[in-house]
Structure 1
Amino acid sequence: MNRIELPANESALFQGIVRHRRFQPVGHQFRYSLFMWLLRLDELPSLFERYWQLGASPWHWARFRREDYLDRPERRLQDVVIDKLASKLEVDREEVVGEVWLLGQLRYLGCYFSPLNLYFVKRDGIFRHVLAEVSNTPWNERHCYALDLRSLHPHGKEFHVSPFNPMGQEYDWRILPPEGNRLAVHLQVKRQVADQAGARIMDAGLHLRRVALEQRSLNRMLMRKPSPTAALLAAIYWQALRLCFKRSPFYPHPGRSGDFGNQRS
């Protein structure tokens, strides 16, 4: 029997570091190594055929589970991304339609959590828009921010992420999309209240380099870190404990927040 040649995929792995720096009311910083998937969503069926570790079934080591991303799981994820971008940017859907690429995490050995998923939309060969899906823990709520890469502007914080950060803050994004071998995201968080507006609270950065998606590179990543999402959750709670030891102020959850809430199992 002749072997069926699958088309080359454009999806890739991105490897690098995530860094957080907190400037006030207490100083705190950390950095971790990580890898993330950059998936062209239209390629998922061929990727599932090519890599035995990757698929949509519970037995796959790295599982793409539609319910883990955004809402309306009965619909294609790329269609939901485009609809949310159009709604949040208040533009016609045709203005934001394009190829959708997911930068994020998968479900490993049954465990999923991703603080930030970025849905890049590519049109005419250029990444033009991003839908940023932010998640919190332990509440398992999610919220989306729609960003136009051609004109990024500071905007108000709309979603409770951490008990060590209050509402009344402003986000300022800088994004280098994955058009080459590098990808970078920088988020600066500032005070928004009138008497202290503009005061820098913290920043977070993601600095990644492309790694070709091949069996060898995928095996190496997974053998080094079999469940990246479990390691990620452990790191989040460890840093929260460190902030408690430093007596950082604690801000309770303001009530239900986010575009959609506790839908994960």
Structure 2
Amino acid sequence: MEVVVGLLLLLKILSAAVLLAVIGFVGVPLLLAGITVWRSKTSATKPVASSLYVGRVWHARLLPKRHAFNYPLFLFALDLEETDELFSDTLWPLSLIVNLQKEDHLKNGEGLAKDTPTTATEPSNTKVPHETANRVLRLVAEKTKNSFQPTLESHRVILITHLRYYGYCFNPVSFYYVQEKGTNKLVSVVAEVSNTPWNEMHCYVLHPDSIDNVQVKGEEEKDTKQRINYKFPKCFHVSPFMEMNYTYDWTFTNFLLHSKEIPLIARTMMKRGESEVHFTANFECFRHGMHPFTVAWQLIYYPVYCMIIQIWIHYEAFWLFVKGIVFVPHPNDAETAASRIIAAIMTPLFALKDWFDELRGKSSPTKAEMSEGSSTGDAANGKAKTS
């Protein structure tokens, strides 16, 4: 009898939890979207070009062992000159649960004016102002040694990124497209790469004059779409199952924020030499506009998307470990609370793997040996390992 009572109590608790989840992750977005639509009809809200893009992303590791997966993707393409009005007016109050926060980007103080402190003093709910666009343009000028000096008078900056959903944000990579305002031509891309679980960030400035050693090849296709290919050395540790001595080979298709005809496409590769491709990642997304109910639907369908991404990354990393991909430690031995937890979980698994390797007569390389081997590989490719 006590068991039955306990099961009934557990069922009630689970039912209450499900009800709260439905109210929180379904009812709240719909309610806020409804209020946002009502506000737009009763007040003059300015239309924006910024838009939600929905599609899919594909990852494939080709060497030394094959491993591939894909998953649905949605991103926001934001004209950074619209963000103040977009989140304070056009999407309010839906923007209470989906918004852009400036502390999620340019975390290392990139592009700050010389008289600006490198640490943010604004409260955490401060929205990203036009200053973010100016910081990106200053960063481009700095990385090109002022041979290219774009301004907001002549260029626009489009940020392709995830927003904060319910107060949480993580972006494996965000892209800033720098376009000429007169011609809409894509002239530079800033790739803002993050790693997990170290929570570090690095910006690559992709431009012919960039000090990031970028090789640029422009391609004009028959369909008039502008495509630009960038090749540059990897210098930021992202994955513990990917070495440093690689060359990135990325191709971007230019797009127009107001056009539904041109999808948002990026294709990336990691190479050794000119032809040995070890890894590819591509995404293709289509414009869905910025109607409040369209945005709310994405939040309902994927309520904690950024958290799902991080869980997915670690899930796939586990299978790389199972497949025997060599573990590459962080070059600077960086540690966070999350990395320590993961290390505690993985330590017995590494010990078990070493035991099986010994049974097969093959000992696993030590951390020192892996570092030495990786350094040797870097030297052979003429590159220094940096974080």
Partner secondary structure for residue 189 of structure 1: strand
Partner secondary structure for residue 140 of structure 2: helix
Q: 2:245 aligns with which of 160, 168, 173?
A: 168
Shift of 1:92: 3.8
Aligned residue for 2:271? 190
For residues 217 and 136 of structure 1, the distance between their equivalents in structure 2, rounded to whole angstroms, comes to 30
1:251 aligned to 2:334? no
Aligned pair in 2 of structure 1 residues 122, 166: CA closer, same or farther (>3 Å)? same
Aligned residue for 1:52? 92
Residues matched between the structures, number: 250
Letter in 2 for 1:127: L
1:33 aligned to 2:92? no
Q: 1:88 aligns with which of 143, 151, 164?
A: 143
Q: Is the 8 A contact 1:103 1:118 kept in 2?
A: yes
Unaligned runs of 5+ residues in structure 1 are: none
Aligned residue for 1:199? 276
1:118 aligned to 2:170? no
Unaligned runs of 5+ residues in structure 2 are: 1-40, 110-119, 122-128, 208-215, 219-227, 337-387
1:214 aligned to 2:291? yes
After the TM superposition, which of the residue ranges 141-150 and 71-80 deviates more from structure 2? 71-80
- As a proportion of its length, which structure holds more strand? 1
Partner secondary structure for residue 168 of structure 2: coil
Shift of 1:252: 0.6
Shift of 1:214: 0.3
Q: Is the 8 A contact 1:22 1:28 kept in 2?
A: yes
Q: Is the 8 A contact 1:21 1:29 kept in 2?
A: yes
Shift of 1:86: 1.4
After the TM superposition, which of the residue ranges 141-150 and 243-252 deviates more from structure 2? 141-150
Q: Is the 8 A contact 2:140 2:149 kept in 1?
A: no
What are the superposed Cα offsets for residues 230-252 of structure 1, whole Å, 9 maximum, x if unpaired? 11111111111111111111111
Q: 1:146 aligns with which of 191, 205, 228?
A: 205
Partner secondary structure for residue 92 of structure 2: coil
Aligned residue for 2:165? 108
Letter in 1 for 2:280: D
Shift of 1:160: 0.5
Shift of 1:95: 4.1
- Which structure exhibits the higher relative contact order, with contacts defined as CA atoms closer than 8 Å and separated by 6 or more residues? 1
Equivalent positions of 1:59-74 (< 5 A) are: 60-71=96-107, 72=109, 73=120
Aligned pair in 2 of structure 1 residues 160, 54: CA closer, same or farther (>3 Å)? farther
Partner secondary structure for residue 86 of structure 1: helix
Q: Is the 8 A contact 2:137 2:150 kept in 1?
A: no
Q: Alpha carbon RMSD of aligned pairs, Å?
A: 2.3
Partner secondary structure for residue 290 of structure 2: coil
For residues 237 and 148 of structure 2, the distance between their equivalents in structure 1, rounded to whole angstroms, comes to 28
Partner secondary structure for residue 110 of structure 1: coil
Aligned residue for 2:61? 22
Shift of 1:93: 5.2
Aligned pair in 2 of structure 1 residues 250, 99: CA closer, same or farther (>3 Å)? same
For residues 286 and 296 of structure 2, the distance between their equivalents in structure 1, rounded to whole angstroms, comes to 18
What are the superposed Cα offsets for residues 161-205 of structure 1, whole Å, 9 maximum, x if unpaired? 10111011000111012224301101110125xxxx642111110
Q: Is the 8 A contact 2:230 2:251 kept in 1?
A: no
For residues 234 and 333 of structure 2, the distance between their equivalents in structure 1, rounded to whole angstroms, comes to 15
- As a proportion of its length, which structure holds more helix? 2
Partner secondary structure for residue 154 of structure 1: strand
Q: 1:12 aligns with which of 51, 62, 66?
A: 51
TM-score norm. by structure 1 comes to 0.87
Letter in 2 for 1:139: W
Q: Identity across aligned pairs (percent)?
A: 30
Q: Is the 8 A contact 1:96 1:129 kept in 2?
A: no
Partner secondary structure for residue 81 of structure 2: helix
